[in-house]
Amino acid sequence: MLNDFQISVKSGPNHRTKGQLRSLQPALFQFFVDVAAVFLAVLIAHIGIGLFSSAPTTFLFNPTLHAQELAVVLLIVPSMKAMVGLYPGYGMSPVERLRRQFMILIGTVVGVTVVDLEFNEAIWFSNGLLLSLLVLAVLIWISDALGRAILMRLRLWGRPCVIVGTGKAGIDIVRRLGQNEHLGYNPVLFIDENPNLWGTTVEGLPVVAPTVGTSTDERLVRYASVGILAVPRDQPERLNEMIGNLPFSTILVVPEWTGVQTVNTRIRDLSGMFSLEVRRPLGASVTPLVKRLFDIVTSALLLVLVTPLLLLIAIGIKLDSKGPLLFRQARWAGGSRSFPALKFRTMHADAELRLKELLATDPVLRREYEMYHKLTHDPRVTRFGRILRRLSFDELPQLWNVLIGDMSLIGPRPYMPHELIKYPHQQEVLARVRPGITGLWQVSGRHRTTFERRIELDVYYVENYSIWLDLHVLMRTVWIVVKADGA
């Protein structure tokens, strides 16, 4: 079966013209989805005012002039998103996308409020229409995610790209792009200098020679605007030559470096010298203090709010099975230190004995446990425990661990003391922060990730820490809880 690139080469100019028009569709679609979100936010606020206000007002299909004016003013939000590259935003990480949208929303809230109070006689404020700013703050995230999800479903999301190099780095790029469709880079073929690979396929993609000036190359340039160059570790001196030989309008250079921060790294020009500025927020004195203050305030507030839920869960556990209400387990806290992590009991009292017998008699489940350190269908879990785990309610007692300083709301997984013995380097990195109730691995597949992948994600979190990464994890956690997609 021909892939998109091969079809493009065979179809000629007509297909290329359609492809160029097609490339504009995602940005236009995202823009109009956000415009709809703006008008919907104002309409919801206007309807709410009409329902809860004793004064007569008109709404629904005849919104007031003030609401119309505010809706027009709020169109600055999608306009600003277009200016900062969020339409379509290919190649942008979720954390960077969140940061840009958040800054636009904060600027809009402040700007519209000042304009209303200073130049509009506070009409929007007195009418309650500024409530639409809060509604928009929610809807704009939903419209952004919904718009991209629809485009992905319709296969209209992404830019065709060419991977230069079929080595380990090139193959890793293709696999990672396949696992992260939201980035919007769709590999269509490889270019490689090895003649033995020409005409073959690697990772399901055709491999072609790095020829220049052929008709195939000309059509390639018009169709695939992105080239991703996997720089060989042993040939860094050829980088300028390899970039110069690529005809694409956008080229991404991926060196074979490992362990380098990405989220807090910026390119800097030092008088013509290429340099990377690596920021380490956890090394700053203020960042850990802000994070700890957030943990204390939020955990205390949540403990008060969920007290009725905690009592209901306690009753459910006691009615479902015999045993203690809480489960305490020693978790690693850095070095030789540990702390008792609290959870609602979700397993039978003789859980460890059941596990030992099960692993001794079932080699398939033993392999699963060795790989994931947990079982998909765990016979140790009680009926009520399955519900708690699915809703992630079993971890609510850990809010107390957060409040007293054992844990953080967001951080690496709280590992058992023996789990990291084989990973001394990772252990050193993870010891820099408190373990968290939720974290990057919990929102990245959770029970579907291997133990090594969990450690990799936790190390990534620590080395790339930022307040925006915490906010991204927090928002993803809320979505997972709403979907009831827990462990």
pLDDT in tens, 304-340: 999 999 999 999 999 998 889 999 999 998 878 899 9
In terms of DSSP bridges, do strands 408-410 and 436-438 run parallel, antiparallel, or are they unpaired? Answer: parallel
Tell me, letter by letter, the H, E, C secondary structure of 275-293: EEEECCHHHCCHHHHHHHH
| pLDDT (0 to 100) of residue 202 | 92
- Is there a contact between 108 and 477 (Cβ–Cβ < 8 Å)? no
| Residue 9 pLDDT class (50, 70, 90 cuts) | very low
The 8-class DSSP code of residue 402 comes to: H
Lowest-pLDDT range of 71-80, 143-152, 176-185, 230-239: 230-239
Which amino acid, 270? L
As a whole-number percent, the residues of the chain with pLDDT over 70 amount to: 86
Angle, CA 464 vertex, CA 461 and CA 470 arms, to 5° = 60
Average pLDDT value over all residues in the chain: 84
pLDDT top residue among 364 and 445: 364
| Residue 55 pLDDT class (50, 70, 90 cuts) | low
| pLDDT (0 to 100) of residue 13 | 46
The 8-class DSSP code of residue 219 comes to: H
Dump the DSSP string for 338-378: EEEEEEE--B-TTHHHHHHHHHHH-HHHHHHHHHHSS-SS-
Within 8 A by CB and 6+ apart from 299, the residues are 399, 400, 402, 403, 409
| Distance from chain centroid for Cα 439 | 11
Angle, CA 456 vertex, CA 389 and CA 97 arms, to 5° = 85
Dump the DSSP string for 410-474: ESS----TTTTTT-HHHHHHHTTS--EEE-TTTTTTGGGS-HHHHHHHHHHHHHT--HHHHHHHH
Query: What is the Cα–Cα distance from 485 to 487, expressed in whole angstroms?
Result: 7
Mean pLDDT of 249-267: 80
- Pick from 415, 95, 396, 147: nearest CA to 262: 95
Per domain, the residue ranges of the chain are: 13-153, 158-257, 286-346+381-483
Lowest-pLDDT range of 50-59, 195-204, 320-329, 386-395: 50-59
Mean pLDDT of 286-307: 93
Query: What is the Cα–Cα distance from 160 to 176, expressed in whole angstroms?
Result: 15
| pLDDT (0 to 100) of residue 368 | 79
| pLDDT (0 to 100) of residue 239 | 79
Mean pLDDT of 377-393: 87
Angle, CA 466 vertex, CA 149 and CA 114 arms, to 5° = 80
Mean pLDDT of 72-94: 92
- Pick from 65, 112, 463, 72: nearest CA to 261: 463
| pLDDT (0 to 100) of residue 201 | 92
- Pick from 169, 215, 213, 164: nearest CA to 190: 164
- Pick from 409, 397, 389: nearest CA to 303: 397
Architecture of domain 158-257: 3-Layer(aba) Sandwich (3.40)
The 8-class DSSP code of residue 94 comes to: H
Dump the DSSP string for 231-270: E-TT-GGGHHHHHHT---SEEEEEE---S---TTEEEEEE
| pLDDT (0 to 100) of residue 146 | 93
pLDDT top residue among 332 and 365: 332
pLDDT above 50 for 279: yes
The highest-confidence range among 219-233, 315-329, 442-456, by mean pLDDT, is 315-329
Query: What is the Cα–Cα distance from 33 to 11, expressed in whole angstroms?
Result: 32
What is the value of pTM for the model shown? 0.80
pLDDT above 60 for 237: yes
Query: What is the Cα–Cα distance from 285 to 186, expressed in whole angstroms?
Result: 41
Q: Is 345 exposed, middle or buried (0-12, 13-18, 19+ CB in 10 A)?
A: buried
Lowest-pLDDT range of 16-20, 193-197, 200-204: 16-20
| pLDDT (0 to 100) of residue 20 | 55
pLDDT above 60 for 384: yes
- Pick from 5, 25, 26, 27: nearest CA to 16: 5
Query: What is the Cα–Cα distance from 394 to 454, expressed in whole angstroms?
Result: 20
Question: Is the bond preceding residue 255 a cis peptide, omega within 30 degrees?
Answer: no
Structure tokens at 461: 């979190």
- Pick from 191, 186, 185: nearest CA to 170: 191
Contacts 24+ apart (CB under 8 A), 130-135: 131/45, 131/48, 131/49, 132/41, 132/42, 132/44, 132/45, 132/46, 132/67, 132/70, 132/71, 132/74, 133/41, 133/74, 133/108, 133/109, 135/40, 135/41, 135/42, 135/44, 135/45
| pLDDT (0 to 100) of residue 238 | 75
pLDDT above 50 for 173: yes
Instruction: Give per-residue pLDDT as tens, 98-130.
Output: 999 999 999 999 999 998 888 888 888 887 778
Instruction: Give per-residue pLDDT as tens, 452-473.
Output: 888 999 999 998 888 899 999 9
pLDDT top residue among 83 and 479: 83
| Residue 22 pLDDT class (50, 70, 90 cuts) | low
Q: φ, ψ for residue 216 (rounded to 5)?
A: -60, -40
| Residue 59 pLDDT class (50, 70, 90 cuts) | very low
